[in-house]
Amino acid sequence: MAIEIERKFLVAHDDWRSGATDGVLYRQGYLSRHANRSVRVRIAGDRAWLTTKGIISDLSRHEFEYAIPVEDAEQMLEKMCIKSLIEKTRYLVFFAGCTWEVDEFSGENAGLVIAEIELDSEDQEVALPAWLGTEVTDDLRYRNVNLVKQPFSTWTR
């Protein structure tokens, strides 16, 4: 069984950019979203996937991901997904032997930048780069599935 274990952080400043790979545009939407599970369609560059996730804990989820034709994903995003869609550019940043994914959101979530790291276990220790801000792993507002319903641009800050 596939399990995703990850931690999420806000990004405090742009120092991550100096070590980042070229960004890849991601577009994703949700066919179904429930408090404990979701079904997502994602296009990243010239590839697409259908993904189901189910919550195990704050850090862990069951995750099953299947490649699908980009044309099918485009149709699902346009005709079947809950609006709004998630639009972001993902960069990879290598730090202290780990790969961080930095997502710079656009569209209705513009202004939000989140860094994620996938772990091998919930108690795995990782070195935290200086450009990280507040950890938001436990803050449900920052989950993509919730940013569809309540985009960052609508938050009162």
Give the pLDDT of residue 95. Answer: 95
Query: Active-site residue among 26, 30, 91, 142?
Result: 30
Give every residue of the chain whose pLDDT is below 70, as ranges: 1, 157
**Omega of the bond leading into 84 within 30 degrees of 0 (cis):** yes
How far is 36 from 63, CA to CA, in rounded Å? Answer: 12
| pLDDT confidence of residue 92 | 98
Q: Is 91 a catalytic residue?
A: no
What pLDDT, on the 0 to 100 scale, is given for residue 58? 79
What CATH number is given for 3-154 in this structure? 2.40.320.10
pTM here is: 0.93
The residue extents of the domains of the chain are: 3-154
pLDDT, residue 34, reads 86
Give the pLDDT score at 57: 84
The gap between the terminal CA atoms of the chain, to the nearest Å, is 39
pLDDT of residue 1: 57
